[in-house]
């Protein structure tokens, strides 16, 4: 799949108008996806998923503070991107864009931050090409077409994870684990 740039940060003020889950679309969403998947370039613009856990659980940050992570789809490591050079630039561009639009005052309120790039996904999680979501989001690799939980042709080999049935994301991964548990230990 594509890679991810994930920026984590804590702020010294609350952004109560930002919901727990917010999607911020750039002006060229379709062309951006083409840049990521087909041209394998890091575009100047971006679309973002903003996660603010403190919207529903204030214990994720000190009193009167907020915590966030912002996910930006980027090319995976099949692209020739120098993340040591581009990571800090993308971090700054994301903060500037949010500060100038939906989160005024963000830049000066950030007290702690760090980010993860496709390089981190590759090194820390052994993700092929630093992919953020396992296999590519193609119809031929979706739902029932994903790898099945019981391997075909190899006895007693079971598969669990984002690239297996029923799908990616934490709920999908947990469901795949439950399916395998039921296959190995039928009730």
User: How much of the chain is helix, strand and coil, in % rounded to 5?
Assistant: 40, 20, 40
Residue 137, pLDDT score: 62
User: Residue 94's CB: how many other CB atoms inside 10 A?
Assistant: 21
Query: What φ, ψ does residue 67 adopt, rounded to 5°?
Result: -130, 145
Residue 170, pLDDT score: 73
For the chain, list residues with pLDDT below 50: none
Do the Cβ atoms of 115 and 7 come closer than 8 Å?
yes
Residue 176, pLDDT score: 85
Angle at 128 between CA 127 and CA 130, to 5 degrees: 65
The residues near 81 (Cβ < 8 Å, ≥ 6 apart) are 42, 74, 75, 118
């Amino acid at each position: 799949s594509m890679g991810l740039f994930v920026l984590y940060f804590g702020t010294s003020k609350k952004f109560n108008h930002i919901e727990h889950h917010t999607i911020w679309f750039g002006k060229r969403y379709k062309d951006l996806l083409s840049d990521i998947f087909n041209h394998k370039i890091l575009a100047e613009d971006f679309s973002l998923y903003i996660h603010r856990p403190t919207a529903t659980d204030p214990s994720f940050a000190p009193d009167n503070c907020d915590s966030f992570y912002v996910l930006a789809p980027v090319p995976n490591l099949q692209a020739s991107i120098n993340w040591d050079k581009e990571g800090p630039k993308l971090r700054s561009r994301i903060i500037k864009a949010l500060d100038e639009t939906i989160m005024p005052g963000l830049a000066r309120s950030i007290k702690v931050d760090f980010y993860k790039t496709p390089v981190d996904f590759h090194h820390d999680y052994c993700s092929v090409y630093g992919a953020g979501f396992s296999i590519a989001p193609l119809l031929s690799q979706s739902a029932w077409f994903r790898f099945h939980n019981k391997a075909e042709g190899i006895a007693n080999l079971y598969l669990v994870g984002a690239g297996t049935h029923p799908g990616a994301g934490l709920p999908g991964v947990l469901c795949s684990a439950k399916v395998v548990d039921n296959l190995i230990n039928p009730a």
